[in-house]
Amino acid sequence: MMDDIVSQLDGIYNRSIDYFDISETVCRETRNRIKAQYYTDPPVRFRSSLLVHSYCIEDMDPSEATRIFFSFGIPENEEVVLIWGFRKRGITLPYGVFARYYFKLWYPGADDVWVTNENIDWLIELHHEEYLSIARAGE
């Protein structure tokens, strides 16, 4: 199964909209839950009650970013939701696939990508200005 998912990542930007397995409605609902739980409005910033770690990945080797993703303690087989802000659509995939192949799913300079689990217990944001952030509720 993992090989099937990885093989589909190549050329994801050229695929038809039918490729996305999260409907626009579910995507919008998830985005609204993320915004309510993690961001202030306005301005859109992470809430001060969160534990947030941010990294500049502009000049970082993808393997180094992958190590950072795995340092978050999220199980490789946990199903995650990935949402592209500009497409208003998303996909689900195992966290390990995202962590290893994020660079095939995110286009720096143009994309903002959110990754979370079904319960939205944590949030990873890949910002178009090449910053990676993870936010969790304060413990």
What is the 8-class DSSP label of residue 50? Answer: E
Partner residues linked to 39 by β-bridges: 46
Q: Examine the pLDDT at 19 and tell me if it is beyond 60.
A: no
Count of the separate structural domains present in the chain: 1
Angle at the Cα of 32 from the Cα atoms of 31 and 34, rounded to 5 degrees:
65
* pTM summary value: 0.82
User: What are the φ and ψ backbone dihedral angles of 98, each rounded to 5 degrees?
Assistant: -60, -50
- Most confident region among 2-16, 61-75, 101-115 by mean pLDDT: 61-75
pLDDT recorded at residue 1: 47
Residue 77's identity, in one-letter code, is N
Q: Domain range for residue 9?
A: 2-137
Residue with token string 């609204």:
32
> Residue 69 is which amino acid?
F
Task: Render pLDDT for 78-103 as a digit per residue (tens, 0 to 9).
Answer: 999 999 876 677 888 899 999 998 98
67 token code pair: 């190590």
